[in-house]
Structures are given as C-alpha cells and as structure tokens.
C-alpha cells in the first residue's frame, strides 16, 4: 500500500553566525493510509521544523519528502501550495480561527479558498459540525467559544475539504487537561470516520500515547527502531521509553 507521506533521510540546517547548525538529522519514516501516528519530543527537538517540512511550508536542506506520490523539493512554491490544499488539513495549538467569521464560515473557508461553493457541500458541513458536537454553535463568533470548542471548529475546518492527511501541531497545548483528552479522542474518532491519516506532534506523553505508533525525536534524530506500536498504549509506556532514551 502506497504511503500517504514519506520522509527520506531528511536534514535541515539553520545558519548561526555563518555556520550550519543541524535541526533535523537524517529523519526517515512513512505514514500508511488510515493510521494515527504521534511524534513525541521536548521543546526544541525539531518537531515544528519537521512538521513545516512535511507540509511543504519549507524545504529540507537535504533528503526528500514525498506527499501523495510527489517529491516536494521538485515542485515550485505554487505547485506545493496547490498540493497542500488538496492533501493536507491542519490543526494548530492556537486554533487560528478568523475572528470575524462565524463557526460555519470558518469551517467552510478551505472550500472557498479552493474556489468551491460551500452551499454545494452543505450536508457534508452539517455532518461535520454534528460529528464534532458544534452544530448548535454554527452562528457564533470565535470569541464566544471556549478553547475546547474552538479546537473542535479547527478540526472541522481541517476536514472540510476531505484531505487524506491531518497534521496536528500540539493541538492540546492551549487547553485544559480534560478538554485536551476530549480533543485527542476526537482526532482518533474522526480520523477513522473520515478515512484520514493523522500525524500529531506533541511534548505531552498522554497525547502521544493515543497513537497507534509513537515516534521519538531527540536532538533532531528520529530512530524508528525506538518506536512504540500497538493499540492501548499508556502515558506510562511513553514515560518509560523517554527514560530509556534519555529525553
């Protein structure tokens, strides 16, 4: 089965005082369709840099990233943007909702950007709002929502254009513990319901344990041999592996 996303020996360097400093070093892994994968690492380990590269928002210094069968480094910026709009939905830590748009209008935004008429997808948008428990909030502005509600809207927006891949950047980092647990459970649920492959990056062991596979990033290095795999992983399992790896 073809991978949805694949990183092949990816390096990323930042220049500091004229010298290249490695942020990512030889990262390789693949995401199979319909899977839920988490990448665990402390702040400064390179998680956000990696996520930007995987989405084609930046390019690796060396190595390749393949998305939907296309090598991102071989595409120009406009081609990468078009591919990203078709293939990737984003869930952010700080929600990134437009404050002057209602819940429904925020969710419909990816369709408008793609040049589609949201009215033609009304039933599907209604289904998304219902699935995420925000149908009664459809006419509200973001300022009238709780953090958990705003993140539910963010997930609905990410799924609106039916992308095969969801990239989630610390999606519970701005939420209470209870709301965070609900959001991670929802991501697992909607990933399966909408046949989306989910990649979640986090520094939270509880969130990381939600993955069917947990990868660990330390000082820019990700070794798949250290991964945890299987259903029913616990935060304690993640803690134990973190101690083994000295993270």
- Is residue 162 assigned to a domain? yes
Q: Count CB neighbours of 199 within 10 A.
A: 25
CA 33 – CA 1 distance, rounded (Å):
8
Encode burial over 116-134: b for 16+ CB neighbours within 10 A, e otherwise. eebeebeeebeebbebbeb
CA 247 – CA 245 distance, rounded (Å):
6
70-122 pLDDT, tens digit each: 999 999 999 999 999 999 999 988 888 999 999 999 999 999 988 888 889 99
pTM for this model (two decimals): 0.91
Q: How many distinct structural domains can be found in the chain?
A: 1
26-55 pLDDT, tens digit each: 999 999 999 999 999 887 788 889 999 999
The SS3 call for residue 96 is coil
The reported pLDDT for the residue numbered 115 is 86
pLDDT greater than 90 at residue 25: yes
Q: Count CB neighbours of 70 within 10 A.
A: 15
- Average of per-residue pLDDT values in the chain: 91
125-138 pLDDT, tens digit each: 999 999 999 999 99
Encode burial over 170-195: b for 16+ CB neighbours within 10 A, e otherwise. bbbebbeeebbbbbbebbbebbeebe
- Is residue 44 assigned to a domain? yes
- Is residue 5 assigned to a domain? no
- Is residue 19 assigned to a domain? no
CATH code of 43's domain: 3.40.50.300
Which residues form the domain of 187?
33-53+76-245
The reported pLDDT for the residue numbered 134 is 94
pLDDT greater than 90 at residue 18: no
- Is residue 21 assigned to a domain? no
CA 80 – CA 160 distance, rounded (Å):
19
Overall average pLDDT of the 7-31 stretch? 92
**Apex CA 186: angle with CA 183 and CA 191, to 5°?**
130
Q: 211 and 182 in contact (C-beta within 8 Å)?
A: no
- Is residue 67 assigned to a domain? no
- Is residue 69 assigned to a domain? no
- Is residue 105 assigned to a domain? yes
Among residues 72, 89, 87, 64, the alpha carbon closest in space to that of 4 is found at 87
Angle of helix 147-159 versus helix 177-193 axis, rounded to 10: 20
Residue 37: DSSP 8-state: E
The reported pLDDT for the residue numbered 71 is 96
H/E element, 20? strand 19-31
**Which two tokens mark 151?**
């993140």
pLDDT greater than 90 at residue 194: no
The reported pLDDT for the residue numbered 1 is 57
Residue 5: DSSP 8-state: E
The SS3 call for residue 48 is helix
The reported pLDDT for the residue numbered 14 is 87
Q: Read off the pLDDT band of 247 (50, 70, 90).
A: confident
CA 56 – CA 73 distance, rounded (Å):
8
């Amino acid at each position: 089965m073809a991978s949805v996303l694949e990183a092949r020996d990816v390096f990323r360097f930042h220049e500091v005082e004229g010298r290249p400093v490695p942020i990512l070093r030889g990262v390789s892994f693949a995401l199979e369709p319909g899977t839920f994968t988490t990448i665990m690492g402390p702040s400064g380990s390179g998680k956000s840099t990696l996520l930007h590269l995987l989405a084609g928002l930046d390019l690796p210094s060396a190595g390749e990233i393949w998305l939907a069968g296309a090598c991102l480094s071989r595409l120009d910026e406009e081609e990468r943007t078009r591919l990203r709009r078709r293939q990737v939905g984003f869930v952010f830590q700080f929600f990134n909702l437009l404050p002057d748009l209602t819940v429904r209008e925020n969710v419909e935004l990816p369709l408008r950007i793609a040049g589609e008429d949201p009215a033609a997808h009304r039933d599907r948008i209604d289904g998304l709002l219902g699935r995420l428990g925000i149908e009664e909030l459809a006419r509200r502005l973001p300022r009238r929502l709780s953090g958990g509600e705003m993140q539910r809207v963010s997930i609905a927006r990410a799924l609106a254009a039916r992308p095969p891949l969801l990239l989630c950047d610390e999606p519970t980092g701005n939420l209470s513990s209870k709301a965070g647990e609900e959001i991670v459970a929802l991501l697992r649920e909607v990933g399966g319901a909408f046949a989306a492959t989910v990649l979640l990056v986090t520094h939270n062991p509880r969130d990381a344990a939600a993955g069917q596979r947990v990868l660990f990033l330390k000082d820019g290095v990700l070794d798949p041999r250290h991964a945890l795999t299987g259903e029913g992983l616990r935060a304690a399992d993640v803690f134990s592996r973190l101690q083994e790896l000295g993270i």
